[in-house]
Amino acid sequence: MLLFPNAKINLGLSILNKREDGYHNLESIFLPIPITDSLEFIESDETKFECNIIINEEKSNSVLMAYHLLKDKFNLPALSIYLYKNIPIGAGIGGGSADGAFMLKGLNDYYELGLTIQELKDYANKIGSDCPFFIDNKPSFIEGTGEILSEMELDLSNYYFALINPNIHISTREAFSNHTVIKKERTSLLSHIKNEPIENWKKYIVNDFESSIFEIYPEIEKIKEKLYQKGAIYASMTGTGSTVYGIFEKKVDLDEFDSSYFKACVTIPTTF
């Protein structure tokens, strides 16, 4: 079976508070984007995993985590699994989470396991907090640690999204360890997205990780500034970084950004 897990971006990311369990309550809006990996599995005499990049730890391999979760429950056969990574890792656009979620969905469909959407989300949440989003794979308002999802109407198909990743790997742990939660009065991101035209998002929609990440990696801040210089209506770092995106009314040339960077300019389909 051949699958094409897609990435996502965050429209804003608010870190509300730290919980007693050590995690943080967040608010964000996730938007799926058409930048994909390719993932294939076929039955085999023994389970093996191959990838075009090195993934050292099985516990960080979301595809194998998904496979073993369902293998143990449904006694699935051994599989040969092939993953081609095109989505940058440690980039804040959910590539690893998407791979795990798509593996769950693919196994459910191929072996007719009969898992409901909610059951798939429950399994996905065991892999990572962003994984449940990719089960529905629709624009969603995110709360809690990422596990509370509310589907929303958001059509940005008339705009171009330019994404730049400077090949800086930022782990979620690193991002949170360098960020200090600031208590302040907040208006929900959902309210801003619904009530403000995109031209006003620059005033109201913020990724709280930017202040600490930009201090450590000024190169990422420069990318955001350059996107605004090129005419972006709105620009932001996504997730915990290091990818930055800009929203444009017309397709934009990205050749002037460093040739070593991951670069893409895409439109967002209304359905995935």
CATH number for 193: 3.30.70.890
Boundary (domain end) residue, out of 151, 169, 203: 151
117 and 169 in a single domain? The answer is: no
Token digits of residue 228: 């605004």
Tokens 């699935």 appear where?
A: 76
Which range, of 42-56, 61-75, 126-140, 178-192, averages the lowest pLDDT? Answer: 178-192
CATH number at residue 98: 3.30.230.10
Q: What does the pLDDT read at residue 179? A: 62
Q: What does the pLDDT read at residue 186? A: 64
Using one digit for the tens of pLDDT, what is the confidence trace for 95-136?
A: 999 999 999 999 999 999 999 999 999 999 999 989 999 999
- Report the amino acid identity of residue 149: L
Token digits of residue 82: 């092939």
Distance CA 85, CA 70 (A): 23
pLDDT band of residue 189 (cuts 50, 70, 90) is confident
User: Is 130 considered catalytic here?
Assistant: yes
Q: Which of 185, 182, 187 lies closest to 211 in space, CA to CA? A: 182
Q: What does the pLDDT read at residue 270? A: 85
To the nearest whole percent, how much of the chain has pLDDT over 90? Answer: 78
Q: What does the pLDDT read at residue 23? A: 79
Q: What does the pLDDT read at residue 59? A: 57
To the nearest whole percent, how much of the chain has pLDDT over 70? Answer: 94
If you compute the radius of gyration of the chain from its CA atoms, what whole number of angstroms results?
19
Average pLDDT, the chain: 92
The packing angle between helices 95-110 and 62-74, to 10°, is 30
Burial of 271 (0-12, 13-18, 19+ CB in 10 A): exposed
Q: What does the pLDDT read at residue 174? A: 74
pLDDT band of residue 182 (cuts 50, 70, 90) is low
Token digits of residue 179: 């960020």
Using one digit for the tens of pLDDT, what is the confidence trace for 24-63?
A: 789 999 999 999 999 999 999 999 999 999 876 555 799 9
Pairing label, strands 48-51, 79-84: parallel
Boundary (domain end) residue, out of 122, 151, 180: 151
> Which residue segment(s) compose the domain that 53 sits in?
2-151
Q: What does the pLDDT read at residue 86? A: 96
The Cβ of residue 165 has, within 10 Å, a number of other Cβ atoms equal to: 26
Q: Are 143 and 223 spatial neighbours (Cβ–Cβ below 8 Å)?
A: no
User: Is 263 considered catalytic here?
Assistant: no
131 and 219 in a single domain? The answer is: no
Confidence check: pLDDT of 219 > 80? yes
125 and 54 in a single domain? The answer is: yes
141 and 53 in a single domain? The answer is: yes
Which range, of 147-156, 166-175, 203-212, averages the lowest pLDDT? Answer: 166-175
Confidence check: pLDDT of 16 > 80? yes
Is 56 within a domain? yes
The active-site residue out of 121, 130, 138, 208 is 130
Which range, of 8-12, 43-47, 193-197, averages the lowest pLDDT? Answer: 193-197
Which range, of 6-10, 22-26, 62-66, averages the lowest pLDDT? Answer: 22-26
Q: What does the pLDDT read at residue 194? A: 87
